[in-house]
Amino acid sequence: MQIRPVIGVPCGLQAPPGRQDRAVSAVPESYVRALESAGAAPLLIPVVRQESTLRMLYRLLDGLLLAGGVDIDPARFGQEPHPKLGKVDALRDWVELSLVPWAWADGLPVLGICRGIQTLNVARGGTLWQDITSQVPGALHHGRVSYTLRAHAVKLEPASRLVTVLGSDKVRVNSLHHQAIQVPGRGLQVVGRSSDGIIEAVEGDGQAWVVGVQWHPEWLWETDRPAERLFEGFVAACTARRAASA
């Protein structure tokens, strides 16, 4: 049997309008497919409400993937809600912002994607632009045009882990976000920006494999080699982590 690292993917709550009683814990299938294809065993973490439950699930993990999704409650980074703030998910915020400090302390590999780079940043005490278009004059259009359109370039720091992982210091990426990192959190290095200065990639400054990207490689990996390499690099780090802790 092929040994696969177990990678936790926290879910969000999705419900029909006004019907919280019919909510489901869910993660877009694209993340599950990308992780499985890259050699991992994805484990969806439901929206749970008790820390002891979350701790037990966390102990199963060789890595943590923070997926895209709704906006993070700005109270989590000390700001009042901006008028253009989108939907929030308080329980998901709690789950993810609990998991990140544990993973950070344990040196567990973490990949944050879109909302996930923002989650990583907020967990480390950073702040967010709540709406790029209204808060950052002159910024490119980062909002959704299509899932797979490579809307803009990202220039990466030559000495970064991400350049090694992606195999290039410049990538063209899709862009489906209206928020971005404002002030980076503790221990996070900015390693990628678009031409307007918006932060598109960060990584941890320690030994652990911690990477956040503002784009969506889970929509690109089937046709885009750098996106595929990002998942492969993450899974390789999780495999090494599993071997080291066995």
Beta-strand (E) ranges in 145-233?
Answer: 152-156, 170-173, 180-183, 188-193, 199-204, 210-213
Angle between helices 51-58 and 90-106 (to 10 degrees): 50
What pairs with residue 152 in β-bridges? 173
Residue 118's contacts (CB-CB under 8 Å, 6 or more residues apart) are 72, 112, 128, 179, 180, 181
| 1-9, 35-43, 167-175, 238-246 -> range binding Mn ion (CB under 5 A) | 167-175
CB of 195 to Mn ion, least distance (A): 10
Catalytic residue among 114, 178, 203, 228: 114
Cα atoms in the 13 Å half-sphere on the side-chain side of 62: 23
Q: Can you tell me whether residue 182 is helix, strand or coil?
A: strand
Cα atoms in the 13 Å half-sphere on the side-chain side of 15: 12
CB of 70 to Mn ion, least distance (A): 17
What is the per-residue DSSP string for 13-57? EE--TT-GGG-EEE--HHHHHHHHHTT-EEEEE-----HHHHHHH
| 60-68, 108-116, 131-139, 174-182 -> range binding Mn ion (CB under 5 A) | 174-182
* Contacting residue, 142, 161, 178, 216, with Mn ion by CB under 5 A: 142
* Contacting residue, 119, 175, 179, 182, with Mn ion by CB under 5 A: 175
Catalytic residue among 200, 203, 218, 232: 218
Which residue's Cβ lies closest to Mn ion?
Answer: 175
Token duo for residue 241: 């982590």
Catalytic residue among 178, 216, 228, 232: 216
Select 62 or 224, whichever has its Cβ closest to Mn ion.
224
Q: Is 114 a catalytic residue?
A: yes
CB of 140 to Mn ion, least distance (A): 7
# of chain residues touching Mn ion (CB under 5 A)? 2
Q: Is 200 a catalytic residue?
A: no
| 49-57, 79-87, 135-143, 236-244 -> range binding Mn ion (CB under 5 A) | 135-143
| 16-24, 91-99, 168-176, 238-246 -> range binding Mn ion (CB under 5 A) | 168-176
CB of 144 to Mn ion, least distance (A): 10
Q: Is 216 a catalytic residue?
A: yes
> What letter represents residue 90's amino acid?
A
Q: Can you tell me whether residue 135 is helix, strand or coil?
A: helix
CB of 185 to Mn ion, least distance (A): 19
Cα distance between residue 68 and residue 246, in whole Å? 30
Select 142 or 229, whichever has its Cβ closest to Mn ion.
142
Output DSSP code: residue 86.
-
Select 142 or 161, whichever has its Cβ closest to Mn ion.
142
Active site members: 114, 216, 218
Interface with Mn ion (CB under 5 A): 142, 175
